[in-house]
């Protein structure tokens, strides 16, 4: 599989180029970085990293393209997004293999989830471009929502294609032009996406890609005076740095950052359903999701039953080679993340939390690769580090409570507020608890993922929203034109 992804990119010269103004160009920087297969810890390719000069060129191209693109009909933007959507579906297997190779997602998960949900963001953006009222009337005023300008988009390694489309789709639908900086740790799917944008007929300068690291390319984008908006998905630490760099130019900053999401299981919940689904949600994408519900808050009286069900659920996981169809969970994405997970499991043990399953080291039979054991702690309380810090790996903390008020207090006892879950058979009671949780999304009884649901955080989980109408509106400015008069008022006058 490696050659089917790497060789076409290498032979076309994509690995050592950036995409600026509709062309693949050699970056100014001579710096390169290795792409590591997390299942083997071996390098599989080297890629060129851009620098601030490449950012300057990409931003200039996006600025030149902005005038025509922002003035284009919304329907023409929708037509382009329709072609992008079609091409993602046509190339779904290629994207799935790239994602599995570059960040270790199990191939079945990449095929069933990583790629299809990425395509959905483009579909929703296409539909919103067609239906959104960019001009509305209020008395003699026109309220105009127009593209904010050139947008710098910074995306992470854990959902590499999904996060690209969640930003590129609404930005283009709004009439913005973009410069994308994907993670240098999962660049293959981003390069394939740039090829796709070129093949879809994207006008020159509307979409640009400059690979590179945060301190170089991310910082240059954030501080650039001709960038009107930055949208970043990443750690809270990275979000703070981006906001600081952006502050002198007073550009808009949208941040989707860290999380430590609660899964509050109410006393009347059906544990046979609530617990296994909660374990699966926490370990989705090997726990490498900012909204993963990694704190399971459960009635103390039912703690032992929860522990038993959770252990059984985790035992069904198949951790191993991500290219095998039977694998449910591959490695974590990189060495730094592997070390972080191992460190935090050690912290949990030292803090006195009890292991339900898992622990330090690789799973049995795996001697190399960034594989972690599916680890569940119980007897956790909110002052423990494993209950407060985002681990970003396959680690779940079970926290008992004595009454619902205490459970809500535990759920909100975090600096984050990105996602949350509530389980209970009494829907009225579940809704009441959901209303008390301070987070940008609350899921009651594991509903289906909805690409129209706005996604974003309270507190240190960020600001702004992605997905759906709210995600489109992040890329729009509001202009009030007074004395405009609507068409009917002008005729009657």
Mean pLDDT by 10 residues, the chain (493 residues): 82 96 95 96 96 98 98 98 98 98 98 98 98 96 98 98 98 98 97 98 98 96 98 96 97 97 98 98 98 98 98 98 97 98 98 98 97 98 98 98 98 98 98 98 98 98 97 98 75 45
Active-site annotation holder among 120, 184, 256, 473: 256
Taking the alpha carbons at both ends of the chain, their separation in whole angstroms is: 70
What pLDDT, on a 0 to 100 scale, did the predictor assign at position 1? 53
Query: Between vectors from CA 23 to CA 56 and to CA 117, what angle results, nearest 5°?
Result: 90
What pLDDT, on a 0 to 100 scale, did the predictor assign at position 258? 96
Note the CATH number of domain 2-257+457-480: 3.40.605.10
Long-range contacts of 434-441 (CB under 8 A, 24+ apart): 436/408, 436/412, 437/262, 437/264, 437/408, 437/411, 437/412, 438/412, 439/261, 440/465, 441/291
What pLDDT, on a 0 to 100 scale, did the predictor assign at position 493? 41
Task: Give the span between the Cα atoms of 135 and 142, in whole angstroms.
Answer: 7
What pLDDT, on a 0 to 100 scale, did the predictor assign at position 3? 67
Q: Which ranges in the chain are annotated with CATH 3.40.605.10? A: 2-257+457-480
Whether 290 is catalytic is yes
Residue 301: HSE in the Cβ half-sphere, 13 Å Cα cutoff: 7
* Among 174, 169, 210, 178, CA closest to 84: 169
DSSP H/E element including 391: none
Active-site annotation holder among 151, 176, 290, 357: 290
Q: In this structure, are residues 434 and 444 in contact, taking their beta carbons and an 8 Å threshold?
A: yes
What pLDDT, on a 0 to 100 scale, did the predictor assign at position 492? 45
Domain 262-444 falls under CATH 3.40.50.720: no
Main-chain phi, psi angles of 378, to 5 degrees: -130, 175
Whether 42 is catalytic is no
Q: Which ranges in the chain are annotated with CATH 3.40.309.10? A: 262-444
Task: Give the span between the Cα atoms of 390 and 292, in whole angstroms.
Answer: 10
Q: In this structure, are residues 295 and 399 in contact, taking their beta carbons and an 8 Å threshold?
A: yes
Q: List alpha helices for 247-334, DSSP H.
A: 271-283, 303-315
What pLDDT, on a 0 to 100 scale, did the predictor assign at position 212? 95
What pLDDT, on a 0 to 100 scale, did the predictor assign at position 4? 82
* pTM for the whole structure: 0.96
| Residues 41-55: tens digit of each pLDDT | 999 999 999 999 999
Indicate the burial class of 16 (C-beta count within 10 angstroms; 0-12, 13-18, 19 or more).
middle
Joined tokens for residue 240: 């703070």
| Residues 127-168: tens digit of each pLDDT | 999 999 999 999 999 999 999 999 999 999 999 999 999 999
What pLDDT, on a 0 to 100 scale, did the predictor assign at position 454? 98
Q: Which residue has the tokens 């083997």?
A: 40
Q: Which distant-in-sequence residues (6+ apart) come within 8 Å of 187 by Cβ?
A: 35, 47, 102, 211
């Amino acid at each position: 599989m490696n050659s089917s992804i790497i060789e076409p990119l290498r032979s076309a010269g994509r690995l050592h180029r950036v995409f600026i103004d509709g062309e693949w160009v050699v970056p100014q920087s001579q710096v390169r970085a290795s792409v590591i297969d997390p299942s083997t810890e071996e390098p599989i390719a080297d890629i060129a990293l851009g620098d601030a000069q490449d950012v300057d060129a990409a931003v200039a191209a996006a600025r030149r393209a902005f005038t025509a693109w922002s003035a284009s009909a919304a329907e023409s933007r929708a037509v382009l997004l329709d072609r992008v959507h079609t091409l993602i579906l046509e190339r779904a297997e290629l994207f799935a293999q790239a994602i599995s190779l570059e960040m270790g997602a199990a191939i079945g998960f990449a095929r069933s989830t990583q790629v299809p949900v990425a395509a959905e963001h483009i579909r929703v953006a296409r539909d919103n471009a067609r239906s959104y009222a960019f001009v509305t009337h209020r008395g003699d005023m026109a309220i105009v929502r127009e593209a904010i300008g050139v947008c710098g988009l910074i995306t992470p390694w854990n959902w590499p294609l999904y996060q690209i489309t969640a930003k590129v789709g609404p930005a283009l639908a709004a009439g913005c032009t973009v410069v994308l900086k994907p993670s240098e740790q999962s660049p293959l799917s981003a390069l394939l996406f740039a090829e796709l944008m070129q093949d879809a007929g994207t006008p020159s300068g509307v979409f640009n890609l400059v690979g590179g690291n945060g301190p170089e390319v991310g910082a240059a984008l954030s501080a650039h005076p001709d960038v009107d908006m930055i949208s970043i998905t990443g750690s809270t630490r990275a979000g703070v740095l981006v906001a600081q760099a952006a502050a002198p130019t007073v550009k808009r900053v949208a941040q989707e950052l860290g999380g430590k999401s609660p899964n509050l299981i109410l006393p009347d919940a059906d544990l046979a359903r609530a617990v296994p689904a909660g374990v699966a949600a926490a370990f989705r994408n090997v726990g490498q999701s900012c909204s993963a519900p990694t704190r399971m808050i459960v009635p103390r009286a039912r703690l032992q039953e929860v522990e038993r069900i959770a252990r059984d659920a985790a035992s069904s996981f198949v951790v191993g080679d991500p290219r095998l169809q039977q694998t449910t969970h591959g490695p974590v994405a990189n060495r730094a993340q592997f070390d972080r997970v191992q460190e935090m499991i050690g912290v949990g043990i030292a803090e006195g939390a009890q292991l339900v399953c898992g622990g330090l080291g690789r799973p049995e039979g795996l001697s190399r690769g960034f594989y972690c054991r599916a680890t569940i702690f119980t007897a956790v309380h909110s002052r423990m580090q494993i209950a407060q810090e985002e681990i970003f790996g396959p680690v779940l903390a079970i926290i008992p409570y004595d009454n619902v008020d205490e459970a809500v207090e535990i759920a909100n006892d975090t600096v984050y507020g990105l996602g949350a879950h509530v389980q209970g058979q009494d829907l009225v009671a579940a809704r009441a608890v959901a209303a008390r949780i301070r987070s940008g999304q609350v899921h009651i009884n594991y509903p289906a993922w909805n690409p129209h649901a706005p996604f974003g955080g309270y507190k240190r989980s960020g600001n702004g929203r992605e997905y759906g109408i709210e995600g489109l509106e992040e890329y729009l400015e509001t202009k009030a034109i007074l004395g405009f008069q609507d068409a009917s008022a002008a005729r009657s006058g």
